[in-house]
């Protein structure tokens, strides 16, 4: 019935992938959106909140809520931007650095498992196509 429906098929896929990454990040008591946002902060400390929202393709209020949760857990700190006191730079804490390798390993394990299930070439092709579609529609 929905074989040609982009919305149905991508949403269905997203639910399946959400379960995979929820399980992967459960030991860290992080949701997948929190974990991916934290991994971004760890990789690029000092980004502004708006830059993080744009990179993650999420609304700024959503980014604020995710960052609030990460701050409550002690994983990030907000610092006033030297360029504009109205904006906040986001920096990882020592606690975040302590779990960085574990987060990356957990995510890598899911990716490895999916590549094995789908085949490495098919995996890379699908990810590339999805990125192209997202760019075209965004």
- The DSSP line for 65-110 is HHHHHHHHTTSEEEEE-SS-TTSEEEEE-HHHHHHHHHHHHHHHHH
* Structure confidence at residue 82 (pLDDT): 79
Q: Is residue 109 one of the residues assigned to a domain?
A: yes
Q: Is residue 1 one of the residues assigned to a domain?
A: no
* Structure confidence at residue 1 (pLDDT): 81
> CATH number for the domain including 129?
1.10.10.10
Q: Is residue 44 one of the residues assigned to a domain?
A: yes
pTM, entire model: 0.89
Give me the average pLDDT of each 10-residue run along the chain (138 residues): 88 94 97 97 95 94 96 96 83 98 97 95 94 88
Q: Is residue 10 one of the residues assigned to a domain?
A: yes
Q: Is residue 113 one of the residues assigned to a domain?
A: yes
Half-sphere exposure of 89 (CA within 13 A, CB side): 15
Structural domains in the chain (count): 1
* Structure confidence at residue 127 (pLDDT): 93
Question: In terms of residue numbers, what domain contains 19?
Answer: 6-137
């Amino acid at each position: 019935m929905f074989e040609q429906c982009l919305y149905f098929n991508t949403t269905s896929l997203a639910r399946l992938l959400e379960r995979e990454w929820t399980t992967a990040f459960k030991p860290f008591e992080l949701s997948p959106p929190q974990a991916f946002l934290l991994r971004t902060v760890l990789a690029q400390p000092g980004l502004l909140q708006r830059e993080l929202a744009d990179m993650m393709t999420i609304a700024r209020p959503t980014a604020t809520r995710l960052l609030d949760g990460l701050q409550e857990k002690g994983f990030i700190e907000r610092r006033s931007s030297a360029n504009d006191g109205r904006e906040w730079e986001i920096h990882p804490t020592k606690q975040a650095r302590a779990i960085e390798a574990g987060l990356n390993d957990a995510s890598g394990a899911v990716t490895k498992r999916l590549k094995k299930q789908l085949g490495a070439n098919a995996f890379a092709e699908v990810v590339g196509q999805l990125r192209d579609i997202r760019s075209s529609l965004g």
